[in-house]
Structure formats: C-alpha cells, structure tokens
Amino acid sequence: MEPPLPNTQSNYCLQEFLSGFNSDSEVVKILNKIGVRPSKGLGQNFLIDTSVSESIVDALNIEDNDTIVEIGPGLGALTRHLIGKVKKLILVEYDRRIYEYLRDVLSGVDSVEVFHQDAVTFDVRPFYAEGAVRVIGNLPYSSGTEIIRNFLTFPSPVDSAVFMLQKEVVNRFCAVPRTKSYGLLTVITCAYWNVERLQDLTFEPFTPKPAVDSAVLRFSPCDSDKYPPFNQRVLKRIVKCGFHERRKQLKKRLPLGDTNWSELCKAMNLQETARAEELSVNEWINMARLIDDNPLKDNPQMGNELFDVVDEDDRVLDQMERSYVHSKGLLHRAVHVFVFNKVGDLYLQKRSVLKDSSPGLWDSSVSGHLDVSEEYHCAAIREISEELGISLEVDLICSIKPSVNTGWEFVRLYRCEHNGPFNLPYSEIAGGGFFPVAMIGKWVRERPEDFSSGFIECLNSYVD
C-alpha cells in the first residue's frame, strides 16, 4: 500500500520526509530549518541509521488493519516505515516546533494524526474504541518509564509495544531475582507483560550522540493462565514496601495486617529471612493473594447458588440453582449500579476470566443477582459492598424488562457517586477504570463485542 501524496506545495517536503535524514548534516539542516536545537532534557537524540529503524518497526509485526501509536516521532525515523502500511497512525510529539513540522508535512496523509501532547499524560482511553492498538517509540530517557506506565498499566488498550530506552532502564525491565536491577519496576510490569530484549545499541546510530547506550524492548500481554488472578492494588502496595529498603528482611517491611509472617512463609515455602530481591514475580503474586483481606477474593460464583425464579410480571414462582436458571433461560432478577466520580465519569469493571458469563468483558460498575427473597434496593447496596468494598446509598435510574440481552433478567439500574479507589475481589473483577460516558458510547458502537450485553442494555436505557 503506497502512501497518498497531496497535490499541494508541501509535496516536496513529504517526499523529502519519506526519503529520510540519514546523516548528521541532514538532520542539522532540517532542525535549523524548523528552528529546533536538540534538548538533552527532552532526550532529543535522533535516529539516523535506516537499518536500525527498520528492525525496530519490524519487531512490532504490524498488519495493514492496525492502529499504531508512535511516541516521540521526531523527524520520522520510524514514522516513514509506518506510513501507508497501517490503517491509522497516531503520532504523539511533545516538542511544539517538531509537532508543527510533522503536522504540516503530513497534512495530506489521511491515515495520520499528529498530537502535540506529553505522552506521560496522554489519554489512552479512546484507543479502546480502536480495538487493540500497537505502540512504538524511541522514548526520552528522562520520562521513558513514566510513558510506559501510562500506556501499559493494566487494564490497557495496548496489544503490543516496542520501545527503545536507556540501557540501564532496559536492564530493570528484564532483570531476574537476586540481581541489582531487579525491583519494583520489574515485578509490576512482568506481572502483566512478557518483556523481550531485542537488541542493544551504542551511541553510533544517533545524532546528537547520547552519553549512554540504548536497547530495544518488546512487550506482549501475558497469557491469562500464566499467573493466578490477584488484586493489583495489593501487589503494588507490598512490592513497593518490600523494595523500599531492598536489603532488609521482608518481615520488617511488609504491611501484613492480620497475616502471620511465619505462617505466610510456610504456605509459600519461603525462608523467614527472605528479602524483596529474592522473590520471583510469581512468588510476589502469590504473596499478594495470601495477604489480600478481601472476604470474597476466593469466592467466584457457585453453580448451586439459589435464585428466585419469577414470572412475566416479576412475581416469584420458585427457587432454583444458578446453573439451571441460566441454562434454561428462566426469568430471574438482577441489579446493575453505575458509579460516577465527581466529574461525571463512569466506572467500568473488567470481569474476571473466572466468571461463568461474559468472562473478560467490560461491564457495569457493579452487577449481580438478587439473593432469595431479597429486595432490589438491598441487593444493589450489598453488591457495591462486595464488589467495590464501599458502603453507599443508591438512587434508582430505571427498570429494564428481561430479554436475551439481559440474560432473561429483570434488571433495576441504580446510580451513586464515589471517586475510588476500590477494593476489588479478584475472583470477580480483574480491574477497571473511569471513562467519560460519551467515550463509552463511542466504544460500544465501534466494538460491542468488548462488553457484556447486559451492560449495553443498561447504558442504552441510561442515555435514552
């Protein structure tokens, strides 16, 4: 697929851009032309080796239907190998003059969007509506880890990423236990991502020449069965405490609550003198699971749970087991709750892969069935407590009739306000986040397969 060329005065500039700037003098010439002096603080070391650029792009394994986000495109060393080869290319450039240059040169290429923003705070949530996106970039050394945290913190719309970073930082991402580089960054990242070191680079392929060496990393999501489910907040808390003074024994550092250290070590087959750097990622996750004090952490739905079965007028007929009610499509009752923050964004939960219905899909802030003889309002308050770990009153929004989309449930939809954070039971909820309602609406229209059908019914009833 060849990139479309505009019939404008900028055509020559685009041809020059696509040809590339492959020497120090060519880069200096274009930087002088657009009024840029390379900033050490911004990590402006421009890649001039075409073979290196091509190898980095090749590592992303792009396809023509992909949406690609490039961070810090600069003068286009990677960009020119992406234009015309993907469905959409989004460039995020912090330097205002370079942004204006890219915007002008690429103004006639319909598949390219250029943003003048800081990638550390760039809002990645709209990318969910694109489906899985791939991310690439020669990241500035000063903010590379913060950029990766912004784009890859779970849950994330990113499907894979290839980044060039300072070699010292790369060592931390790839470190193994009992090494100096192994730490908080390693554990928190590798709990969700497979990290591959692809190549090491000296200062030679860049201008100006950086004072340190670089390396290229590829990130791909861990398979759902690589590690057992866990609470992300608990893992972050204990790992942060553990590595704060990495040489001290963990029993003196961890927030154990009611957990007995000796019993914990026995359950995990650890020495009581263990230190943070000695635990593998899997051991840290298992420790987070054991320390987690959520009462429902190990209580996924049970097939023999009893429901009230009702008639078409929502009158109770009988009590039957969950598995039977669902398999036969019998009418029963449920509640959904929309939790909004103070700016009006709606919290969505990403359902655990352990769920028997809609596993791994996005859903209402809270949802659940009524217990036998339970009232709708009481069920909503109980579910908020169980799923989010908070106690709130709720207001009724509407009632929704049963249909195939609700799973043959009579649904009452409620609302409340809370800014988080929430204490999520990992057996029920993998994670979540706040989203503007308009953004959710676009996401649902573009990718309804990402959501439980019950949530879509609730959202449609809310916005109507």
In sequence order, what DSSP letters do the residues of 136-164 get, joined into one string?
A: EEE--TTTHHHHHHHHHSSS-SEEEEEEE
Sign of the alpha-carbon dihedral angle for 252, 421, 365, 347: negative
Q: What's the pLDDT at 328?
A: 94
* Structural element, H or E, at residue 400: strand 395-400
Residue 256 burial class via C-beta count within 10 angstroms: exposed 0-12, middle 13-18, buried 19 and up: middle
Q: pLDDT averaged over consecutive 10-residue blocks of the chain (464 residues)?
A: 43 75 83 85 83 96 96 94 95 95 93 97 96 93 94 96 96 96 97 97 87 94 94 95 90 83 95 95 96 85 82 97 93 98 98 88 97 96 96 97 96 98 94 97 97 97 92
The burial class, CB within 10 Å (0-12 / 13-18 / 19+), for 184 is middle
The pLDDT value recorded for residue 6 is: 43
Q: Is 44 helix (H, G, I), strand (E, B) or coil?
A: coil
Stretch (H or E) spanning 361: none
Three-state DSSP class for residue 405: helix
Residue with tokens 């070391």: 45
pTM above 0.75, yes or no: yes
DSSP string, 426-457: TTTEEEEEEE-HHHHHHHHHH-GGGB-HHHHH
Q: Which two tokens stand for residue 143?
A: 């903010």
Q: Can you list the domains of the chain with their CATH numbers?
A: 11-221 (3.40.50.150), 232-291 (1.10.8.100), 306-463 (3.90.79.10)
Percentages of the chain per state (helix, strand, coil), in multiples of 5: 35, 25, 45
The helix/strand/coil state of 53 is helix
Q: Give the pair of three-digit tokens for residue 313.
A: 């007028």
Backbone angles phi, psi at 50, to 5 degrees: -60, -40
- pLDDT number for residue 2: 44
Give the chain's end-to-end CA distance (angstroms, integer): 42
C-alpha to C-alpha distance for 221 and 412, rounded to whole angstroms: 36
CA-CA distances (angstroms) from residue 133 to 87, 93, 130? 11, 18, 7
What does the pLDDT read at residue 355?
A: 85
Structural contact between residues 139 and 150, judged by C-beta atoms closer than 8 angstroms? no
Q: Tell me, what's the pLDDT at 94? A: 95
CB 161 within 8 A of CB 136: yes
Tokens of 264: 């914990």
SS (H, E, C) 82-111: CCCCCCEEEEEECCHHHHHHHHHHCCCCCC
Other Cβ atoms within 10 Å of 451 Cβ, number: 20
Output 101-108 pairs: Cβ under 8 A, ≥24 positions apart.
101/30, 101/34, 101/75, 102/73, 102/76, 104/10, 104/13, 105/10, 105/13, 105/14, 105/17, 106/14, 106/17, 107/6, 107/8, 107/10, 108/4, 108/5, 108/6, 108/8, 108/10, 108/11, 108/14
Region of 407 (left: φ > 0; alpha: ψ -120 to 50; beta: rest) is left
Name the CA radius of gyration of the chain, rounded. Answer: 26
Rounded distance between C-alpha atoms, residue 255 and residue 242, angstroms: 9
Cβ–Cβ < 8 Å for 206, 164: no
The predicted structure's pLDDT at residue 338: 98
Cβ neighbours around 257 below 10 Å, total: 8
pLDDT value of position 22 = 76
C-alpha closest to that of 92 among 6, 360, 78: 78
pLDDT at 403: 96
**CB atoms closer than 10 angstroms to residue 337:** 27
